[in-house]
Amino acid sequence: MVKVISEKFSMKGWSLREWLIGNWSTVKEVFKVGVPFAISMFATNNIALSGLITLAGKLILDSAQYYITERKA
C-alpha cells in the first residue's frame, strides 16, 4: 500500500533537520574533506600541497572520530 505524503511538485512536509539526519554520513565526509581543503587553499596556492594537507586533515579527523566512538567487541 502506498502512503501519499505530499503532492507532486510540492515541498510540503520537507524538513532540513530530517534531511541532515538522513544524510549525516555525507555531511560529515564533506566537512572532513572540505574544511582541511579550504584551510590549505587559503594558506597556500599549491594544489599538490593542499591535497596532502587535506589527506592529513581527513586522517586526523577520522582518527578522532574513531577514538571518541564506542566500539563493541
* 4-61: pLDDT as tens digits: 667 788 888 888 999 999 999 999 888 888 888 888 888 888 889 988 988 998 899 8
Q: Could you tell me which residues come within 8 angstroms of residue 33 by beta carbon, excluding any fewer than 6 positions away?
A: 54, 57, 58
Query: Is 1 within a domain?
Result: no
- Tally of domains within the chain: 1
- Residue 36 CA, distance from chain mean position: 12
Q: What is the extent of the structural domain holding 57?
A: 27-68
Straight-line distance from the first to the last Cα atom of the chain, in angstroms, rounded to the nearest whole number: 40
Q: Is residue 12 assigned to a domain?
A: no
pTM above 0.85, yes or no: no
Asked if residue 39 is part of any domain, the answer here is yes
In a domain, 6, yes or no: no
17 occurs within a structural domain: no
Is 5 part of any domain?
no
Asked if residue 16 is part of any domain, the answer here is no
